[in-house]
């Protein structure tokens, strides 16, 4: 892999599980690494960026993700740390990836969501990635688990 052709790609997996443990909905969606997110990664490489990515937020906007996005358009409640993990993985093509996993459970919102993002703070901070999707309707007792893989690839 030539580092001069390094790119970032992402895939978001959404799994909605009912209170009985049955999967009600599952989807995989491509995401957008924002311009500010790419700048953040460069700054981390030279040691000038603040904090690691630690939070995931969800919202209700259907406005398409754009490179210049710096926040969710219509974020619901606060950003969650519930069951949040980040794990470095390496696939068979030697591309490095980071998986971010967050579970929004029964104590979180009820209703439809249509956007999600990854951040380095509970408020403000840098949004690394954003994605939008057709509505997922979370009912009382449901858990929505979002697994977000950010992967380096060679073009």
| pLDDT score for 3 | 44
pLDDT digits (tens, 9 = 90+) for 35-92: 888 888 888 878 776 778 888 899 999 999 988 888 899 998 666 655 455 566 655 5
Statement: the pTM of the whole predicted model exceeds 0.75: yes
Consecutive H or E run containing 40: helix 35-45
In 3D space, the residue among 104, 112, 106, 110 whose CA is nearest the CA of residue 55 turns out to be 104
**Counted domains in the chain:** 1
- Alpha-carbon distance 80 to 94, whole Å? 31
pLDDT digits (tens, 9 = 90+) for 86-97: 566 655 555 677
Residue-range definition of the domain harbouring residue 126: 3-154
Task: Read off the tokens for 35.
Answer: 């311009």
- Alpha-carbon distance 39 to 31, whole Å? 17
């Amino acid at each position: 892999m030539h580092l001069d052709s390094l790119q970032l790609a992402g895939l978001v997996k959404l799994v909605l599980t009912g209170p009985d443990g049955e999967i009600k909905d599952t989807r995989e969606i491509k995401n957008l690494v924002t311009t500010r997110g790419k700048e953040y990664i460069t700054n981390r490489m030279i040691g000038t960026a603040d904090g690691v990515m630690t939070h995931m937020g969800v919202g209700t906007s259907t406005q398409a993700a754009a490179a210049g996005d710096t926040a969710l358009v219509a974020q619901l409640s606060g950003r969650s740390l519930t069951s949040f993990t980040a794990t470095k993985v390496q696939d068979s093509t030697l591309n490095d990836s980071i998986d971010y996993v967050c579970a929004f459970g029964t104590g979180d919102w009820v209703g439809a969501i249509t956007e999600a993002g990854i951040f380095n703070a509970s408020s403000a901070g840098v949004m690394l990635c954003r994605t939008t999707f057709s509505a997922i309707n979370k009912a009382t007792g449901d858990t929505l688990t979002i697994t977000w893989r950010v992967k380096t690839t060679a073009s």
